Chain A
């Protein structure tokens, strides 16, 4: 009696197990929502006129797979910007359903090679491979993001093989990592600039010869050799050479203390003068050792030009505010990290006629830049950028010093490992030996993964595994490639860009990408009056900055 009961029970268990293993894999999408897919209707959002301050005139779904962007002024940089993660696409149904509840901040529905399985706040994010991905599917089944703010802790985890890759090992550890055969270090190309700024409305920096003398009196090679990790370089121009037209024109002044001293004497300061060196004590890839660099600049000014400089450390926020408003009366140490790989992101931002950062802007520079910004073909724009770069060298609004390198490090057996100049390492192409899980450790936890309203690189990297934009950057590089759109073509005067969407692209919840999704994704960010213009902080900073302004934005106070 008892025996037969157990026999039946065990048979039943076996049978159910067999059934389970034989059952066909579930055909349903990995992310389930109780939403109904809406039909394509052909949405369009338009600004009444171009007076609102921004660049975009209209975003329109022409047909199911065509989106048309109309601009108030020619925009040759559109492809570079449209590839940026801050303009990623999610299904319109999900944006409507999850924006207000803020669910979208942690559960994005994208088209990327991975989808987010779980986010254990404060600990890790677990990604799973999306099997219906339109492109090349991810190699590893599971991807885990972890984080630690301490460089030493990240290095330790990598060495003990609890993670497969880490971001930003400390420059001091580069040698140890290189010497370790189990670990491979990947230098990240420097897409940034560190410069010594001054404001030309303050004496004695109003004299171009003083600025030039300082420029020649500082040994920039010495700064790079001593205070920057491998992969850094002395800046020959303001823009790094990896950006098209970045370093056309003459190279920056050679270090020549004798000529510098003579020039300073000619300008009326044979015995030097006293000034200040302002900086913030914050680690940036363009300035990994702020206080050491400040002290060395101080020593060089004294030694080469007899300029007595007092070092002033400022709080980060106050420093940015004062320097960008042009209120610092001495030299200041500042830099810039590329948002998107285009020369306008470097030159236009810093030298336009509305930026008071270096004092009174120079028409010789900004007029050339404005003209060049209207031209799409880099070869055609080159002559203008040569003139602009030469004008920068002649007028010395600041002294470009270095492009600072940083790095990633991976276990030696990881295939496809790389370091991206834009900081968007792409894990789908990486194969961690014979392990089935890839663990990545970065500097900090993402703030949210609704990246249309994030600016922080740690968040953007997590988003890039999950959600995609119209165009994309090449893996480990900066070239713009097709993404969700197979191509974006301009009209003749670059004011209208038409993007053809890839057909049959599935979102993680099984919905199909259409032009309405694009219009909605862009529209909620662009139109400040849209009830779904919520995001994380609601600032949509990149949108504001890259497209000139938001539609219906509240008037500035």
Chain B
């Protein structure tokens, strides 16, 4: 009898684990081809970022004038495709300052991924705290926090980011902070919404009745529920953040020369679209692939987690 019971308990435990949100999500996401593709691309990008010094044939900020016999804005030269072997190989050509574009694009992966993750990290960190506080305590505190965030949300995000950067001064770190601040309201809202739905549930009340502190209830009982939507939102948000960062850099407000940031690369050679298209083509493609990867993963995650779409 006891054995039976314990078996049953084990079974329940197993079933519970098998059906936990994470398991379910992972199982569902495994069935989504788009998400898999996105994750593969992201994995490759992460590898490229980590292995940049190994992969890049040149120092990304090294000016090759006098170092090699190569001119500025030269078209790609690939030995395998018939470029004479006595010419130095530049897979994506050279830019206006005679630097190797391929190396710059590779190093650019670091900046873009770092920017995307950090900016959204800041946004989620601040947004989650604000959303949790305002959802849990409610009342005038909720009122004040949410109205301020509404005001933030009323601005077009890029415009607000430009305004913040103009105040802080141009630079990569300031651009990062600006994009982070601009993204806060979205995450605050997501967290607040899930806190509101959960906080009247029986198990929360039970925790309260057992004398759990506010912190304990909020962090251990309520907030875990908002993690899945945050992850979905965040993944999609990273794509947008990378785009915004590229836009800021394009305008000269983000990464400063000679940093090999994709947006900066686009911006500095924008007038050469016709005479040297490779200078804008490759950084542009790099931005596109990165954002695409995050969007694919984000969509996949949402389909996997969102119960309204996952009734099959």
Given contacts A152-B274, A296-B63, contact A310 B256 (CB under 8 A): yes
Identify 5 new A-B residue pairs, CB closer than 8 A, beyond the known A291-B268, A312-B170.
A296-B97, A303-B63, A310-B256, A311-B256, A313-B252
Is B72 within 8 A of A291, CB to CB? no
B65 CB–A CB distance under 8 Å: yes
Residues of A within 8 A of B (CB): 152, 170, 172-173, 222, 225-227, 281, 289, 291-292, 294-296, 298-299, 303, 310-313
Within 8 A of A (CB), among B242-268: 252, 256-258, 268
Q: How far is the CB of A491 from chain B (nearest CB, A)?
A: 54
B66 CB–A CB distance under 8 Å: yes
Docked CA distance A296–B66 (Å): 13
Residue in B98, B170, B272 whose beta carbon sits within 8 Å of that of A226 in the complex: B98
Q: Look across to chain A and name the residue whose beta carbon is closest to the beta carbon of B98.
A: A226
CB neighbours (8 Å) of A294 from chain B are 257
Is B272 within 8 A of A299, CB to CB? no
B96 CB–A CB distance under 8 Å: yes
CB neighbours (8 Å) of A291 from chain B are 96, 257, 268
Given contacts A152-B274, A295-B97, contact A222 B65 (CB under 8 A): yes
Q: Interface on chain B toward A: helix, strand, loop, or mixed SS?
A: loop
CB neighbours (8 Å) of A311 from chain B are 256-257
Residues of B within 8 A of A (CB): 61, 63, 65-66, 72-73, 96-98, 170, 252, 256-258, 268, 272, 274-275
CB neighbours (8 Å) of A281 from chain B are 252
CB neighbours (8 Å) of A170 from chain B are 275
Is B256 within 8 A of A222, CB to CB? no
Is B252 within 8 A of A299, CB to CB? no
**Residue in B63, B274, B275 whose Cβ sees the most chain A Cβ within 10 Å:** B63
Is B274 within 8 A of A298, CB to CB? no
Docked CA distance A298–B275 (Å): 25
Q: How far is the CB of A275 from chain B (nearest CB, A)?
A: 14
Is B65 within 8 A of A226, CB to CB? yes
Is A298 within 8 A of B257, CB to CB? yes
5 A–B pairs (Cβ distance < 8 Å), ordered by A: A222-B65, A296-B63, A296-B65, A299-B258, A310-B256
Docked CA distance A226–B65 (Å): 8
Q: How far is the CB of B53 from chain A (nearest CB, A)?
A: 19
A-B pair count, CB < 8 Å, reads: 42
CB neighbours (8 Å) of A222 from chain B are 65-66
What 9 A-B pairs have minimum CB-CB distances, sorted nearest first?
A292-B96, A299-B63, A172-B275, A295-B257, A295-B97, A311-B257, A313-B252, A291-B268, A292-B97
Docked CA distance A226–B257 (Å): 18
Q: How far is the CB of B243 from chain A (nearest CB, A)?
A: 22
Q: Look across to chain A and name the residue whose beta carbon is closest to the beta carbon of B275.
A: A172
CB neighbours (8 Å) of B97 from chain A are 292, 295-296, 299
CB neighbours (8 Å) of B274 from chain A are 152
Docked CA distance A84–B258 (Å): 43
Residue in A173, A226, A298, A303 whose beta carbon sits within 8 Å of that of B72 in the complex: A226
Is B272 within 8 A of A172, CB to CB? yes
Q: How far is the CB of A191 from chain B (nearest CB, A)?
A: 25
Residue in B73, B170, B258 whose beta carbon sits within 8 Å of that of A295 in the complex: B258
Docked CA distance A82–B254 (Å): 49
Docked CA distance A313–B264 (Å): 13
Docked CA distance A313–B254 (Å): 12
Docked CA distance A173–B72 (Å): 14
Q: Look across to chain B and name the residue whose beta carbon is closest to the beta carbon of A296.
A: B97
Q: Look across to chain A and name the residue whose beta carbon is closest to the beta carbon of B258.
A: A295
CB neighbours (8 Å) of A172 from chain B are 73, 272, 275
Docked CA distance A430–B73 (Å): 36
Docked CA distance A467–B242 (Å): 57
CB neighbours (8 Å) of B256 from chain A are 310-311
Q: Look across to chain B and name the residue whose beta carbon is closest to the beta carbon of A223.
A: B65
Given contacts A222-B66, A311-B257, contact A299 B96 (CB under 8 A): no
Docked CA distance A303–B63 (Å): 10
CB neighbours (8 Å) of A310 from chain B are 256
CB neighbours (8 Å) of B73 from chain A are 172
Q: Look across to chain A and name the residue whose beta carbon is closest to the beta carbon of B253.
A: A313
Docked CA distance A436–B272 (Å): 37
CB neighbours (8 Å) of B258 from chain A are 295, 298-299
CB neighbours (8 Å) of B61 from chain A are 299
Q: Look across to chain A and name the residue whose beta carbon is closest to the beta carbon of B169.
A: A312
Docked CA distance A173–B274 (Å): 11
Docked CA distance A74–B213 (Å): 91
Q: How far is the CB of A32 from chain B (nearest CB, A)?
A: 47
CB neighbours (8 Å) of A303 from chain B are 63
Q: How far is the CB of A293 from chain B (nearest CB, A)?
A: 9
Docked CA distance A332–B129 (Å): 45
CB neighbours (8 Å) of A313 from chain B are 252
